[in-house]
Every structure is written in structure tokens, then in C-alpha cells.
Amino acid sequence: MKEEVVIGLEIHIQLMTKAKIFCHCSTDYIGKEPNTNTCPVCLGLPGSLPVLNKKVLEFAVRTSVALNCKINQVSRFHRKNYFYPDLPKAYQISQYDTPLGINGYMEISLSESKEKRKIRITRVHIEEDAGKLVHEGDITSSSYSLADYNRCGIPLAEIVTEPDFRSPEEAQIFLVKLRSIVQHLGVCDGNMEEGSMRCDANISLRDAKTGALGTKVEIKNINSFKAVKKALQFEVDRQKRLLAEGEKIIQETRHWNESKFITISMRSKEEAHDYRYFPEPDLLPLKVDLKMVDKIRKNLPELPEARRKRFIKDYQIPEYDAEILTSSKSLGDYYERAASLYTDKKVLSNWIMGELLHNLNEEKKEIEYSPISSESLVGMLNLMDKGVISGKMAKDVFEKMFKTGKEASQIVKESGVTQITDENELIKIVDKVINENPKSVDDYNQGKEKALNYLVGQVMRHTKGRAKPDFVFAAIKQRIKKL
Amino acid sequence: MTLNQLTAHEVVDSIKKKKITACEVMQDIFNQIDKVDNLIKAFLVINREEALKQAKKIDTKVKNGEELPPLAGVAVAIKDIITTQGTETTCGSKILKGFIPPYNATVINRLKEAGAIIIGKTNMDEFAMGSSTENSAFGPTHNPWDLERVPGGSSGGSAAAVAADETFVALGTDTGGSIRQPASFCGMVGLKPTYGRVSRYGLVAYASSLDQIGPITKDVTDCALMMNAISGHDNMDSTSVNLEIPDYLKSCQAGIKDLKIGVPKEYFIEGIDPEIKDALYRALKIFEKLGAKVEEVSLPHTEYSLPTYYLIATAEASSNLARYDGVQYGYRAEEYEDLSSMYQKTRSEGFGSEVKRRIMLGTYALSSGYYDAYYLKAQKVRTLIKEGFDKAFTKYDILVTPVSPTPAFKMNEKVSDPLTMYLSDIYTSPINLAGLPAISINCGYSKNNLPIGLQIIGKHFSEETILRAAFNFEQNNDVGKRKPLIKPAKYKEAAE
């Protein structure tokens, strides 16, 4: 049997409203002393009642509209009942049969074939986040757990896709684009590592010929963009292997183990929760004013798709560059800030996509935390253009800037290493190299172009790379001619 | 006569006129509590010191000639299901023993602003589940009219405290009749406001779509006074309605000539005590004498009210009570092996049997595969019941019915038979399903000198109409007002 991969995603994004979803506590909870960012409402104390923060609705509508969803004019909150110590009411206020947004889609372009794919969005709904349990050591061996409720009541939007992905790569491309969209919308910072964006996936294999669906497995705890592809690929391989061995795939929930790079079974279908959903009696049905939706739609900020097109048009950079530069809001902002200060937009994008992203990736840093600002990068490029440093030197200077956070000019000043701009001095060195390498000169005269490169290299060696290569190149040719 | 025997409006009046002081009032209140509460057992917590402190403040205000708030010096007892900052709130349950809320319910703040003095927390059926106050984890409350009988429930402690002159007024909560039935068993006035009229913030939820806080008082004027203080929109409760609140004291003053009264025939079921029936018919004559028009009306879905109520209430309860898991506050089992055994032991040991029964019922009704047949169907019937009332109210201003099929029953009589106990709510639960306001007032006494109650049901947010009808009836009721004679001797004899 030839199998086809079928993947659907469920993504939770934390909405960046100032206050929590049902109380006035702040959403700025990371790093706070445990259980200090709480009140009777988000602690679910007896007698407390939820009141919806209207901003949450606005943010969720913005998200739904950007994902081309239809907005239900009346949606409802439901209670999802289950026992767990991080859930102080023992139910999560969520949406069930009437979510806020339905039937949307997002287009992604596949990296190799450039083929465009429409991924259908089943629904977008609002719910509250739970707290966090802190275990002594490992969850399986810990003798106790501590509960921190600071995260309780952080507003979430859950985005559910149809099972439209045919490979782990597609799911990853979707996720990267979704992150960029929610960042551009200003509704979520999209930080998977910190948990402000979380992803669960449903995976099954289906018979490519008959289309018969396979058993689906849910993968939880995928908490980085890199893990998405790895976890999904692991699961695809696992299922394929099982089928090849004639085994059956069990419907279950599996946990992605980030350190071991495997998925581990959490619970089977038989152990699945019965959440006993029912309409939340403490909240009124959620009515959405169509005028508000229209207003939000009209005032949507520029989204990555449009920004990408604008980059291609305004900055005359290749589509590939534009795609990468708009893959996160901050990266796009970084580029645009630099582009406003520097004429050669392509050189800029080369440096950002090359040196900068490379260095950031090495240190697992987001562009927001880049030690080199757009302005500093442009400062360095200006030094290069003025010939103070060569392209090769620039790379070293860049590394130093990245490590120290200093400006290029300062680094150049401190090391005293600048490009030799005095042409007479350079000519002297050129003449010296020509005198010392008569064989190469002969070779060149006999038409061996490579010999010229060798001579240039020698000049660079003498100058410790401080010579302007263009000038040296021209000077050698000229001096040989004059011989 | 001691001051605790006065009504709230008499107390406020006399304090304003400097005939008495708030401190004197509190003295008499606490004297009475000391004297009778060992027999009645209405209170779980008594705030003596704090109450006296508040009384002194009021007396200082009087001395300084400051304007007094409308409930100045009025002792209020609070059902222990309403949160009070710094004072233990147990809901009559072992599972909440020791829980001290860090916040006040909205009604508590409103009462305090109105000058009322919170004297203590009253006993109740655990989590308001019951009709006799026998389901309290801290022992039952006794009916002041006959200590061998129940005070009704679940707000039995509140009703008994008012009837025994241990307080002037009390707050109760009503999910299926829990204010009106004990008020009638104890011969007091009890009002369940329209759903949304009084904030539920700080009311520990039993069934969120049915629960309402309301007053239990000695007369209708006090009831109006209390409603003035506690009604109105609250930003902390999404289901509280933003409508202007009339002055209920004023609304009592008008007459009831031409008021159209419907009497639902389905409420005169088999098993209704003839004394209750007689008392009601006599009462209807008084209404007619006052110029009201009385007619029979049909509420066709009445017979489904009780099963509908017990499905919806228990379903919501199963979710509302899930938070008592031993994690954050309240009781936690002492020995357990892992998380799930901690949950199981804590809840098995912490909850009483009626609460467990209702959690099981409700869990079942919401379970996958049963939801449509039970919970969803119950919601549909609820809509039909509501529509039945709406239709009746196109023709009638108020509906008059009994409160309970019998007067107060004996303790232990129904404990072993939950279904018979559930019948106590037969006339009251439909009103909660429809979200309507209803008041229970005394309309007479049985041969055994037990109070009999009358229920007046109004349209949504028409508290002024039912208060007006109740006030007119109270002023013209020829039966006369009696006070219970609390007889410890008889009780002791019986106990022996």
C-alpha cells in the first residue's frame, strides 16, 4: 500500500491583551513570583464569576478575519470539565459547538515546488489558559508537584485546521506563516519556546489509492518550530513502520519528548476524557456586532502576504528574500528600518539573511534580541562602502559586533585595522609582489588568468587583507602591462 | 418586649429618633442568640465583636447628627453560602471547613454600605442541596415553631434565625425554593428575586442558571427595605441585569384594585395538605376583597418542572462542585497514594451523601451519549415552562400558589427518602426554571400551630408588583400575626 500523510493542526495562541480573559489581572505573568498574578476569579475561588474582557473578543475577531473566517454573530461559551491541579475550577471555559470564527483558510507556498496550497481553517475559538505545575525533578518520579496559577486565565485563541497537510514540511510552513500573521496582527508574539504559541497535531496515514483513512494519533507538547517537523516526521515514520510490520495503529494521544526526539504514548482512546461540555451559565451568549467586525476588517494591519509583495516591489529584492524577511514581524521591521537608511536593499537582505540570521540561529536568539541593531548594521555597511574596511574585513567586524554589541566604527578604531586607502602605498606593494613572482607574471602574460588571482592573493597577504581587492586587481594588470 | 423582637424598619426608625441605640439593639440580639441558639442551631459563625464595633460607629453617627444609611443598626444574618471576607464560609460542608474567603460577595458590600450589621453566618443544607437543613455537615437546624420539626431548607438557618428573633433579617439563596420554602415553614417573608436582579458575585454556586440571593424577613416592609439595598447591576456578574431599580418601599404603598391574579390549577395536586388548600382559598378571598380579580389559569408543563429542575440543577452542580478537589483550599484527605486517590478520598470524605448523589446525577446527565436525552431535553422543557408562564402573564399580573404541599415536617421524616424530599420543591422550582421573581408570605397556621405560606409569582423584574400584593395582603390578613414559642422543655422530653 502506498500511504499518504494526513495532518491537521490545533494551535493555541496567547492573546496579548493587557488583562486576563475574565478578570483584571495582568497577562504579563512570565517570571513573576508564583501565585502573585492572581485574584479570586482566575483562582476559581468559590463564589467568583467570570466577566469577559472585551479586548479578547476584539483580538480573536481580528485573528479570525485575518484567517478568512466567517464570524458567528452569536457564539457561546461552554465548560470543558476535567480534573487537573493546574485547572482551579476543574473546568476550562472554552467554546464548543458555536465557536467565534468558522470556515476560514490560509494559503501557503511550498518551498521547493513553489506550489500554492490552501489550508482550510475549521474554526477559531476563545478560551482560558490553565496554570502550570512545577515538579520536583521529572514528572514521573517527582514525589510532589507545586501549582502556579499565574497563567490561569491568560486569553487563548485556538485555531483548528482541516487535515489538509500532506507532509510535516507543509505543517511547519503553515505554522511559520501563522506566527507571522498573528505577530503582524499584534495579537500574539508567537513565541513557541515560551509557550505563547503552542501546537498539537493529528496525524494519520491514508491509502493513496482508495483514500481510506487510517487511525489518527494526536501529538501534544510540540514546543518549538523545529520540533514541529521532527515530531511529525517521527510520527509519520513510526506509523509507516507499524503498518509495514503488519501492526495496527492505536488511536491515542502521544507526547513529544524534546530531549529524546521521540513521541511517547500518554493515553489511549479508552482512557480519553469525557469533557461533559455544556453551555457556561455564568456568561451570556457572545454577540458580535457586525459593525465591529467590519471596522476590524477595514483596519487590519498589513499582513505578511501583502508585505512580502511590497518588499519585492519597493525594495526590488527577490521573492525568496521577501518571503524570509516577512516570516516574522520583527524581522520585517528590522529590514525596513535598515532599508530606510541604506540604498542597496539587496546587500542589506544578504547580510540579514546570511550573517545575521546565521549568528542568531547559532545562539537560538530571536531577531528582537539581536545585539546588532538595524542602525548598527547600516553603520558597518557604510564603512565598507567608504572603503574603510573590505568585504572580508566586514565579516570579522560583524562577528565582533555580534559578540560585543559594539558599533563597527568603534571596533575598527580599537583594532586599528582599516583598509589601506593610500593608493601609492598599495602600488608599492603591488610592484614588490610582481618583482618577487616573475613566474606568475609570465604565466599571466601567457594567458593564464588564474595567475592573476595568485598575485592578488599575495598582495592581500602582505596587507593582511586590508587592501581593496578591486583596486589591487586593476593595479596588478596595469603594472604588468607597463613592464 | 426586647428590642430583638422588632422589625428592621422599626429598629431603623427608633435609632433615627434616638429612642434606642444600635448598641442596645445588638445587646438584645446577642442575648437572644445566647438564649435560644443552642436549641435552634441557626448559626454556624457569630461575629459578636465586629457587630458591636459597627453598632458603636452607628451610635457615634447618631450622636454627631450625621445622616443614617437605610439599614443603620439592622442585624443581618448571612447564609453560609455567601462569601464574607475574613469570615469562614463553609456552605454547610466539611469540604470547605476552614475556608476563609479573601473577598466579600457584592451583596455583603451593599448591605454594609446600607449600614447593616453582619452578625453571623447561618446553617444550611450542604451546598444548598436539600429542603430541611438536615443535610448540613454541622448538624441540623430546628424549627422555632416546633423544635422537632425542620425549618425547611436549604436556607433553614436564615429562616429560623429570623423567626426566633435572633436577627431582624437574613439573606438566603434560592435555587429551587430554598428561600421561599423555609420562610413559609418558619412563618416569615422570603423573596426570590428575578434571575439577574441581585448580583451572584460571591454566592458559591450550586446551579448557576437558577441561583439567586434574596432576603428573609419578618414582614413585607423589611423585605422591600432589603431589596432596595441588595438589588441592581454588578460589573462582576455578567448575568446581572442593568435595569433601574424602583424604590420598593414606595411600590408597596399602592393598592391592588383590579390586579389580575391567576391561580394555576396544576398546583393543586394530589397529596397537598387540605390545611394548605384551605389557607390558600381563604387568602384568595382576601385578595378579592381588596379588589383583585382571581381566576383559574393553566400552566400545562408544571408536572415536568421537578424532573427538569433536578436535571439542570444537578448537571450544573456537578461542574460547579468539581473545584473542591483538595488542591487549593478546604479539606484534603490525609492519606492518599497519588493524584487520583487524593481526588477520590478528598471528595468521598469531604462531601455528604446528598451532595454526592446530585453530583452523580448531574455527571450522568452531561455524559457523552446521555447529554441529548437528559440535559438537552431538560433545557427544551425549561423553555416550554418559561413560555407557559409568559403566556399566563399576558392575562394576569401575578400568580398565587402554595409554597409547599405541607407545613414543616418532622426531622428525620424524609431524610431516607430523597424523592419525597424533592417533592418539597414542587411549587417553587418552576419559578427558578423560568427565572421569575416570587415571594413567600405567611397566610395562616395549621391546627398544630405551624405556619402556612403563600407564594406570589410575578413577571420578570416585577418585584414591585409582588411586593405590593404581598404588602396589601399582609395588612389585611385577618389571621393575625403570631410569634413562635420556643419550648425547650417539650423538645427535651421528646429527645429523651
List chain B domain ranges.
Answer: 3-301+383-495
Query: Starting from the edge strand earliest in sequence, which strands make up the sheet with A78-81, in order?
Result: A91-94, A78-81, A278-279
Residue B155 a catalytic site member: no
Beta-carbon separation of A274 and B209 below 8 A: no
- In chain B, what residues touch A277 (CB-CB under 8 Å)? 366
* Out of A123-132, A428-437, B50-59, B80-89, least confident range: A428-437
Same domain, A320 and A275: no
Cell 519597493 belongs to residue: A314
Taking the Cβ of residue A83 and every Cβ of chain B, the question of whether any pair is shorter than 8 Å is answered with yes
What residues form DSSP beta bridges with A80? Answer: A92
Taking the Cβ of residue B237 and every Cβ of chain A, the question of whether any pair is shorter than 8 Å is answered with yes
Kindly identify which residue of chain A lies nearest to residue B374, measuring between CA atoms. Answer: A278
Q: Any alpha helices (H) in A366-482, and if so which ranges? A: 374-385, 391-404, 408-415, 423-436, 438-445, 450-462, 469-482
Average pLDDT, chain B: 95
Alpha carbons B105 and B76: distance in angstroms, whole number: 14
Taking the Cβ of residue A365 and every Cβ of chain B, the question of whether any pair is shorter than 8 Å is answered with no
Q: Strand pairing of A74-75 and A217-222?
A: unpaired
Q: Spell out the residues 6+ positions from residue B340 whose beta carbon is closer than 8 angstroms to its own.
A: none
User: How many A×B Cβ pairs under 8 Å?
Assistant: 98
pTM: 0.91
Compute the nearest-CA separation of B237 from chain A (Å): 6
Whether the pLDDT of residue A394 is over 70: the answer is yes
Q: Spell out the residues 6+ positions from residue A445 whose beta carbon is closer than 8 angstroms to its own.
A: A480
- In chain A, what residues touch B329 (CB-CB under 8 Å)? 45
CB B203 within 8 A of CB B81: yes
**Burial of B258 by CB count in 10 Å (0-12 exposed, 13-18 middle, 19+ buried)?**
exposed
Interface probe with B: pick from A48, A84, A148, A269, most Cβ of B within 10 Å = A48
Residue B289 a catalytic site member: no
Whether the pLDDT of residue B394 is over 90: the answer is yes
Q: What is the domain-level CATH number for residue A437?
A: 1.10.10.410
Whether the pLDDT of residue B263 is over 50: the answer is yes
| B101, B208, B323 ranked by CB distance to A282: nearest | B208
Whether the pLDDT of residue B495 is over 50: the answer is no
Query: Starting from the edge strand earliest in sequence, which strands make up the sheet with A101-109, in order?
Result: A70-71, A101-109, A116-128, A155-161, A3-14, A197-207, A217-222, A252-257, A262-268
Same domain, A336 and A476: no
Taking the Cβ of residue B274 and every Cβ of chain A, the question of whether any pair is shorter than 8 Å is answered with no
Residue B386 a catalytic site member: no
Alpha carbons B193 and B230: distance in angstroms, whole number: 10
Taking the Cβ of residue A85 and every Cβ of chain B, the question of whether any pair is shorter than 8 Å is answered with yes
* Residue where a domain stops, chosen among A229, A262, A295: A295
Closest CA to B128 of B327, B410, B316: B316
* Residue where a domain stops, chosen among A244, A265, A295: A295
Same domain, A261 and A323: no
Same domain, A58 and A122: yes
Residue B496: band (very low, low, confident or very high) from pLDDT cuts 50, 70, 90: very low
Residue A449 is predicted with a pLDDT of: 81
Same domain, A313 and A270: no
* Residue where a domain stops, chosen among A385, A415, A445: A415
Q: What percent of chain B clears pLDDT 70, i.e. is strictly above it?
A: 98
Compute the nearest-CA separation of A56 from chain B (Å): 16
- In chain A, what residues touch B88 (CB-CB under 8 Å)? none
- In chain A, what residues touch B343 (CB-CB under 8 Å)? 83
Interface probe with B: pick from A35, A139, A282, A286, most Cβ of B within 10 Å = A282
Whether the pLDDT of residue B491 is over 60: the answer is no
What are the backbone dihedrals phi and psi of residue B43, each rounded to the nearest 5 degrees, phi first? -100, 145
CB proximity under 8 Å: B 403-442 to A: none
Residue A140 is predicted with a pLDDT of: 67
Interface probe with A: pick from B96, B327, B345, most Cβ of A within 10 Å = B327
Per-residue cell: A412? 575598527
Same domain, A151 and A220: yes
Looking at the structure of chain A, the number of domains it has is 3
Kindly identify which residue of chain A lies nearest to residue B318, measuring between CA atoms. Answer: A81
Same domain, A175 and A257: yes
Alpha carbons B69 and B54: distance in angstroms, whole number: 13
Q: What is the pLDDT of residues B407-429, one digit of tens each?
A: 999 999 888 888 778 888 899 99
Residue B363 is predicted with a pLDDT of: 97
Same domain, A433 and A329: no
Question: Domain span at residue A285?
Answer: 3-295
Q: What is the pLDDT of residues B107-127, one digit of tens each?
A: 999 999 999 999 999 999 999
Same domain, A322 and A407: yes
- In chain B, what residues touch A19 (CB-CB under 8 Å)? none
Same domain, A288 and A308: no
Mean pLDDT of B472-492: 82
- Could you confirm whether domain B3-301+383-495 is CATH 3.90.1300.10? yes
Whether the pLDDT of residue B167 is over 50: the answer is yes
Whether the pLDDT of residue B379 is over 90: the answer is yes
Residue B489 is predicted with a pLDDT of: 53
Mean pLDDT of A201-211: 91
Mean pLDDT of B338-364: 96
Per-residue cell: A51? 466577566
Whether the pLDDT of residue A268 is over 50: the answer is yes
Q: What is the pLDDT of residues A121-152, one digit of tens each?
A: 999 999 999 999 988 776 667 778 899 999 99
Beta-carbon separation of B238 and A50 below 8 A: yes
Residue B407 is predicted with a pLDDT of: 96
Same domain, A169 and A256: yes
